[in-house]
Structure 1
């Protein structure tokens, strides 16, 4: 008996990973679903553009400038160099197809802005049932190379399995304060969790702050110029132990 067309089939159609038999079935299904077909074609075109644009980067080792000594040293960079770097990153990012979430527009900066960016991106991508992540969980090394190169900071992917969350992939996103890495996790009873990280121009070191946005809790902090925000549809108090684990692993990666 032929199984019905599901979300896994649609995601595989985007990536060109269907078997010939399944490809024919999905193509026949999409002929009767023009809106879905158009949306999938758009996703496929974006995926091909990203793969073509960043293929050379994906094969490169993490640059020496992103290792621990260089990261520490960059905290002493003159402000004008940081401004130029941010401008270049944004120009490349938008030209290369960074996914842009709908920002809240609240007049905040620093940690407050990072928390808003995390919840805004969470609303967009955690709810995406077809392609929430641009790079899947089986391509961790590629995501680390790509996001580390774009952010100019070493990105790590925390293991949150002890908290019941499985890494589901990630993507590069644009924020009003520059590019950020968004890491997505799947938890019990179809729950979702995300970690957003980016370089900080202000609030370069800030203790953990718990906030909420609607039904979402957020725990946000910064260490040595790198900001982190853990967001999920549960109270911030329940996210705190998870945020502590993210921070522990991120701190360990910096000194390893």
Structure 2
């Protein structure tokens, strides 16, 4: 019984690798399938054309650098395996160090005045825009707020008077931060402008000069004095925020 002709037979026929007996079987098959025979003859023509095209290159002598002796000598002159391992370790360390450096430059500050300013900005966006209940205790509950917040924060707090700057106290609340509770005071000014003051104890930057920052649509002035940090937040179009911050600092110093 004759084995059916498969693709392996056809490929071998194109490459002229079939034994005589098998070749006769394939050729009888191709005689019965002229469309396959035409495809295989086209492949044969392409094979012959490629062979003719690269014949000059194939007849050239093998380059000295590709001879087995040259390759073996090159491997013997190569750096030892331990050198490659050390180089790889150094590259890994440099990459990790560079990545960590980028991380520390791109992540937001985790402590100090920078963290205080970020927390104040978050709290301002949440509560200052609340038209229903921005504060837990209103302006008429100032003394209760001071007593309650002082106990929770663990430090005496006060409500600055900003009437001279055109702002009146609207109320306050405690807010959570990664560094413990903080006091958020809200003030209302002309043209429905709302200002906030966030204060809390500081683990680091316990005494820090005033720093002005801007985060999108808000501006801030932050500082710390005797272990208590302050950050004043207002809309970006607000003028005189540095003067307001200085007034709060001066009042806190006399409390």
Shorter-chain TM-score: what band?
0.5 to 0.7
SS for the counterpart of 2:240 is helix
**Alpha-carbon distance, 1:215 to partner:** 1.3
Paired residues for 1:28-177 under 5 Å = 106-177=108-179
Cα contact 1:115–1:218 (8 A) shared by 2: yes
SS for the counterpart of 1:201 is coil
**Alpha-carbon distance, 1:236 to partner:** 7.6
Cα contact 1:218–1:236 (8 A) shared by 2: no
Identify the residue that residue 197 of structure 1 maps to in structure 2.
199
Q: Can you list the C-alpha shifts for 1:14-57, whole angstroms capped at 9, x where unaligned?
A: xxxxxxxxxxxxxxxxxxxxxxxxxxxxxxxxxxxxxxxxxxxx
Kindly report the root-mean-square deviation, in angstroms, between the aligned alpha carbons of the 2 structures.
Answer: 1.3
**Alpha-carbon distance, 1:108 to partner:** 2.9
With structure 1 as the length reference, what TM-score do the two structures score?
0.57
CA distance in structure 2 between the partners assigned to 1:108 and 1:217 by the alignment: 19
Which has the larger Rg? 2
Cα contact 1:217–1:233 (8 A) shared by 2: yes
**Alpha-carbon distance, 1:107 to partner:** 3.6
CA distance in structure 1 between the partners assigned to 2:163 and 2:109 by the alignment: 36
**Alpha-carbon distance, 1:234 to partner:** 2.9
SS for the counterpart of 1:243 is helix
SS for the counterpart of 1:241 is helix
Cα contact 2:214–2:236 (8 A) shared by 1: no
Identify the residue that residue 213 of structure 2 maps to in structure 1.
211
Cα contact 2:212–2:222 (8 A) shared by 1: yes
The count of residues paired between Structure 1 and Structure 2 equals 149
Cα contact 2:185–2:196 (8 A) shared by 1: yes
CA distance in structure 2 between the partners assigned to 1:129 and 1:215 by the alignment: 19
Structure 2: which 5+ runs fail to align?
1-106
**Alpha-carbon distance, 1:237 to partner:** 6.5
Deviating beyond 4 angstroms after TM superposition, the runs of 4 or more aligned structure 1 residues are none
Q: Can you list the C-alpha shifts for 1:75-99, whole angstroms capped at 9, x where unaligned?
A: xxxxxxxxxxxxxxxxxxxxxxxxx
